[in-house]
Structure formats: C-alpha cells, structure tokens
Amino acid sequence: MIRFGLHDFLNAQPLLVPLLRAQKKLGLQIVKDVPGVLAEKLKAGQLDLAMIPTVEYLKEADRYRLVPGVSIASRDKVGTVLLVTQVPVENIKTLALDDRSRTSVALLKILFANKFRQDIELTPSPPDPNAMLKDHDAALIIGDQAFSLPDLPTETKIYDLSQEWFLKTGKTFVHAVVAVREGVDLPRPVCAKIQSAKHEGQQEIADIASRYAKSSGLDLNICEDYLRNKIIYDLSDQELEGMALFRDKCFDQGLISQKQEIRFVENSDQKMKP
C-alpha cells in the first residue's frame, strides 16, 4: 500500500476527488491532513509521497523527487493567501500567522522583508480571522477562511500575496507540489494517475464546486470561479521558473539552507539547476 498525503482544501479538490475514486485499484491509501502536517509526516517516513508546501520541498530537495506536471499554483490574484492589516505595513507590531501552509509564511517574509519592523512579533495562530485580528495588528489568512472574512474597518488593507508576487516578479507562484521521498519507487500507473487526475478533476469542476459549497457553506459562484480561473494545476515551464525564483529568494532570506536542483521521478533528466 502506497501512502499518499493530500490536503482537502478547496484548491486540492480536483486532484483529491479522482484519486479517492481510484485509490483501491491503484493500491493507494489517501491520508488527509493540513499541508504543514503532511510535510512533517513525509519527512518522518510516515507517508510515501504527499502534496506539501513548496518551501518544505525546497528544504528537502536533495531527498525528494517531484511528480512531473502537477502542482497547485496561481498567477496574479488568487484570493486565498492574504495579509490583512489594520495598520500600515511598516507599523505592524504583532502579526498572527495561519501556518498550515508554510509556503505562505515564507512568501510573506520574502515580500515584506524590507517593510516589516525589526521587532515584529510573528505568532502562529488557529485559522480564525476574527480572533487573529482581534488580538493582532495584522494576520496572514489562507485557504477557505479567506473567502469569509469578517466585517473590517475601512482603513484595513488587504494584500493578496500571489498578486504581490506577480507584480514584483512577473512569475507564476507555486504553492504546493507532490513530493516523493527518497527510497520510494513510485509505480508508473500511480504516477500516471496523479498526472491525469488534474485533467479529470477539471472536467468535474461544476460538480466539485457544488458539493464543496454545500458542505462548507461557501458561495457556489466563488468556489467555481476559484477552481476554474484562479488555480493552476500544471508544473510546466512557467511554474518551474516561478518556483526556481522562489527557491533563490528563500535562500537569500535564509529560509532554506541550500539551493538544490529540482528533480523529478521518472523523468530524471528533467531538472532545473540553481
């Protein structure tokens, strides 16, 4: 049995739904958890492969290989990775972090490194926008919670981090990738199914959005627009260029200890050098 970790946020549903249907036939066990925990389980050997935050892959890139062609990415505004601040950025003293996706935390530090105060207090917090903003000057809010922000004072400023990245770099941003840990031989049919699941799921977006909206209470039109128009499921040249630049900036900020080649299972000659 191959243990595959996958989160079940809205953005992963077009991958998750087809894979859940096929898991028994493929000998897969789908393990659902939040992205940061999946990264920890993969590193500990409790999973064979997982959809993990890009920054967590970059930390272990010498031991991991990626499933080619699959990611969760965005180009320009995405709506689910938000810095919400009640004071000017340079005046933020306390910032609550929803660190379920550690890539978002790394991106926040990269984008605002030159604006944040030296003594800014960054505090991991449960994903509750009301509580986060009640007790802090600002909050990093990710995932479904970003779709239902509380009523905010008019002076509140919201930064979409995917959009900020695109404005500064002109590059696609890769939020998460499917990483296979060292020593795991991923069967070709399993790899192929993961790659084809994104196409299968995108053909079912209307149904997926409808079911998710009913179970979560989110607006159906928001869910469908998000899946159709905001999320990219490829890992092609544009995504790899953005990912390589993010890697370099993570290294420059001391968020990763070294720059490694981006390597893939099966297509071992497909790689991008530091």
- Asked if 151 and 87 sit in the same domain, the reply is yes
- Asked if 248 and 120 sit in the same domain, the reply is no
Q: Is the pLDDT of residue 268 over 50?
A: no
Q: Which residue type does 174 have?
A: V
Integer Cα distance of 51 and 43 in angstroms: 12
Question: Comparing C-alpha atoms, which of 83, 81, 119 is closest to residue 103?
Answer: 81
Is 271 within a domain? no
* Rg of the Cα atoms in the chain: 18
Q: In terms of residue numbers, what domain contains 59?
A: 2-73+174-252
Integer Cα distance of 119 and 58 in angstroms: 27
Domain end position, chosen among 169, 184, 211: 169
User: What mean pLDDT, rounded, does the chain reach?
Assistant: 93
Is 228 within a domain? yes
Is 107 within a domain? yes
- The pLDDT score that the predictor gives to residue 262 is 95
Per residue, what are the HEC states of 161-202?
Answer: HHHHHHHHHCCCEEEEEEEEECCCCCCHHHHHHHHHHHHHHH
Is 29 within a domain? yes
- Asked if 53 and 119 sit in the same domain, the reply is no
Is 218 within a domain? yes
- Asked if 151 and 179 sit in the same domain, the reply is no
Integer Cα distance of 143 and 9 in angstroms: 7
Separation in Å, CA 113 to CA 1, 109, 142 = 43, 5, 19
Integer Cα distance of 174 and 271 in angstroms: 16
Integer Cα distance of 169 and 79 in angstroms: 18
- Asked if 65 and 101 sit in the same domain, the reply is no
- The pLDDT score that the predictor gives to residue 270 is 47
Is 263 within a domain? no
- Asked if 147 and 183 sit in the same domain, the reply is no
Integer Cα distance of 211 and 113 in angstroms: 40
Could you tell me if 110 and 250 are in contact, meaning their C-beta atoms sit under 8 angstroms apart? yes
Q: Which structure tokens are listed for 35?
A: 């992205």
Cβ neighbours of residue 268 closer than 8 Å, sequence gap 6 or more: none
Q: What is the pTM of this model?
A: 0.92
- Asked if 149 and 208 sit in the same domain, the reply is no
- Asked if 142 and 194 sit in the same domain, the reply is no
- The pLDDT score that the predictor gives to residue 267 is 45
Is 123 within a domain? yes
- Asked if 114 and 242 sit in the same domain, the reply is no
Domain end position, chosen among 169, 188, 213: 169
Length of the chain equals 274
Is 257 within a domain? no
pLDDT tens by residue, 214-253 = 999 999 999 999 999 999 999 999 999 999 999 999 999 9
Please report how the helices 13-26 and 188-202 are oriented relative to each other, as an axis angle in degrees rounded to 10: 140
- Asked if 53 and 16 sit in the same domain, the reply is yes
Q: Exposed/middle/buried for 176, CB within 10 Å: 0-12, 13-18, 19+?
A: buried
Q: Exposed/middle/buried for 151, CB within 10 Å: 0-12, 13-18, 19+?
A: exposed
* Banded model confidence at residue 152, pLDDT cuts 50, 70, 90: confident
- Asked if 41 and 156 sit in the same domain, the reply is no
Give the torsion through C-alpha atoms of 154, 159, 160, 163, to 10 deg: 120
pLDDT tens by residue, 157-205 = 999 999 999 999 999 999 999 999 999 999 999 999 999 999 999 999 9
Q: Give 97's strand partners.
A: 124, 140
Percent of the chain with pLDDT over 90: 86
Looking at the 3D structure of the chain, how many domains does it have? 2
Q: Coil, strand, or helix at residue 223?
A: helix
CATH for 179: 3.40.190.10
- Asked if 164 and 98 sit in the same domain, the reply is yes
Domain end position, chosen among 169, 190, 208: 169
